[in-house]
Amino acid sequence: MNLIGITHVAPAVALLAQTDPEINVGGSLVGSAIDAFLTTLLVGAIMVAVAPAFTERMMADVLAEPFGTFLYGIACLLALGLVSFLLAITVIGLLLAAPLLLVAYLVWAVGSAIGYLAIAKRLIGRDDGWLKPLLVGAGISGLLALTGIGGLLGLCIGAAGFGAVLRNTFG
């Protein structure tokens, strides 16, 4: 599948958001929805292009054991928050907390995309390739962000994917 066309979507949407005064990217529900859609789409596209076997394995883990991966992800998020706080209250630890949070954010983006891809795969399958599941997963992510209250469900989906990635990596 040619993923090059997908990478051209982000600049076009960003340009549209800058030229239309009704769209306030980053400061409104619409901006959050666009951010969520593009993040899921681009991270998902990178994952299926670079590591399709890993992506499939993580998606299967989320689908096979959604509650377990969710609990693992939430526990890791809480532990990460506590460790980051403890590191941040010291000057030397702050130098460690910043890179730790950056890596955690990147792993969260990967895990969240995997969670949304798993849902999309369950809904529509993947017989035609990755494009449809990528668009459906990104659409779900964007729609949940657009509702405002969907952020809680988005957190749960992201935590399940995050937990699957961390559990596969560390435990």
In tens, the pLDDT along 75-116 reads: 999 999 999 999 989 888 888 999 999 999 999 999 999 999
Give a yes or no: residue 9 inside a domain.
Answer: no
**Domain count along the chain:** 1
Do the beta carbons of residue 82 and residue 24 sit within 8 Å?
Answer: no
Give dist(CA 124, CA 82) in Å, integer.
39
Structure tokens at 167: 């559990």
**59: in domain:** yes
Report the pLDDT value the prediction gives residue 106, as an integer from 0 to 100.
95
Q: Is residue 2 part of a domain?
A: no
Run of H or E including 52: helix 52-64
Spans of the chain below 50 pLDDT: 1-26
Does residue 75 sit within a domain?
yes
pLDDT value of position 58: 95
Residue-level pLDDT at 92: 84
Token pair of 151, please? Answer: 């952020």
- Residue 60 resides in a domain: yes
In-domain check, residue 152: yes
Structural domain harbouring 65: 31-170
Residue pair 69/160 in contact by the 8 Å Cβ criterion: yes
Is residue 20 a part of any domain in this protein? Answer: no
Residue 61 · residue 167 · CB < 8 Å? yes
- Residue entry with tokens 């995309």: 113
**pTM as predicted:** 0.81
Q: Tokens 């005064």, residue?
A: 21
In a domain, 120, yes or no: yes
